[in-house]
Amino acid sequence: MAPGSAASTARNAGHETVAGENSGTGSLNSGRSTIDLAEVEKFAAMADSWWDPAGKFRPLHRLNPVRVGYIRDKACAHFGSDPADPQPLAGLSLIDIGCGGGLLSEPMARLGATVTGVDATPRNVEVARLHAEQTGVKLTYLNCAAEDLVAQGKQFDIVLAMEIIEHVADVDAFLAACGKLMKPGGLLFLATMSRTVKSYAMAIVGAEYVMRWLPKGTHDWNRFIRPSEMARGLRHHGLQIAELTGVSYNPLKDSFRLSRDLDVNYMALAKASA
C-alpha cells in the first residue's frame, strides 16, 4: 500500500444477511486458491484499526473519496445513470473483493448498489459487520474467497478488486476469478501499485519507515504489478483495460487526486474484450 493503498486479501463463500454470519475460511473449490495465509494473518493483526481515521488505515481514509468518486462516475457513464442522483448505483449488484473492514463497501451501498463484501480474514469481516450494524447500512459480508463465489455461479454488475491483487497467492487465478464474477456487460475496477523505483521509495521507505503510516512489512515491493503486466494478465482471461488513471498524493495538502502518474498508485477499469 503506497501512501494510501488498501490492505486485505482474496476471499470465499458464506451466508447472506445485513451483517452476515460467520461461514469460516478457506477455499471451498478444488481449484487454485488465491488466499495467502501469511497475508491473512498480517491484516488480522490490524483489523481493529479499520475505522480509525488516525490509525493504521489512515491513508485509506484519505484515499477513499477519490476511489468512491471514480467508481461512481465510471459506473454511471457505463450504465447510463446520473452521478448527481443520491443513489446512482441503484439496481446494480456489486462485489468488493478484499473488503477489509468495509471502508469501500459501505459507501457503495449508500450509493444504492446491492453490495457483497468478501474477505479471507475472519476478523476483518467481524469488524465490517459490526460497523454496518452500528451505522444501519444494509449489505452482505462473507468470510470467503472470490473463487468460491465463482464456484457458486455468482455474478455481479460491478466487481471491485481495490488494493488486493498485490496480496493474493496466485495473481492469474485471481484475475480469472474476477473475470468470471462479472456479468456480461459488467465492469471490473482494480487498484494496485506499480513496481517502480518511485513506488519503492514512496510505498515502502516513505509510508512504512519515514512517515510510519503503515507497519513495516505491510507490502512486498516484488508483488507490485506494472500496468503492462496487469493488461497482459487480463487479456489472458478475455478482459481488456478500458482506462488507466494514476492516484497521486500531495503531502502539503495531505490529500489524493487522480493524475496521469502511473508510477505509484493506479486504478484500472476493465471490461470484457470485444
What pLDDT shows up at residue 14?
Answer: 32
Domain CATH code at residue 157? 3.40.50.150
Q: How many domains does the chain have?
A: 1
For residue 10, tell me if it sits in a domain.
no
| pTM recorded for the entire structure | 0.83
What pLDDT shows up at residue 250?
Answer: 84
For residue 8, tell me if it sits in a domain.
no
For residue 258, tell me if it sits in a domain.
yes
For residue 243, tell me if it sits in a domain.
yes
Is the pLDDT confidence value at 211 over 60? Answer: no
The label of the residue with cell 487526486 reads: 257
Domain region containing 176: 37-272
Adjacent-strand bridge partners of 116: 95, 140
Task: Choose between 190 and 28: higher pLDDT.
Answer: 190
For residue 92, tell me if it sits in a domain.
yes
Adjacent-strand bridge partners of 188: 159, 270
Task: Choose between 13 and 102: higher pLDDT.
Answer: 102
163: which DSSP letter? S
- 105-148 pLDDT tens trace: 999 999 999 999 999 999 999 999 999 999 999 999 999 999 99
For residue 12, tell me if it sits in a domain.
no
Phi, psi of 95, deg, nearest 5: -120, 130
For residue 21, tell me if it sits in a domain.
no
Distance CA 193, CA 166 (A): 8
For residue 30, tell me if it sits in a domain.
no
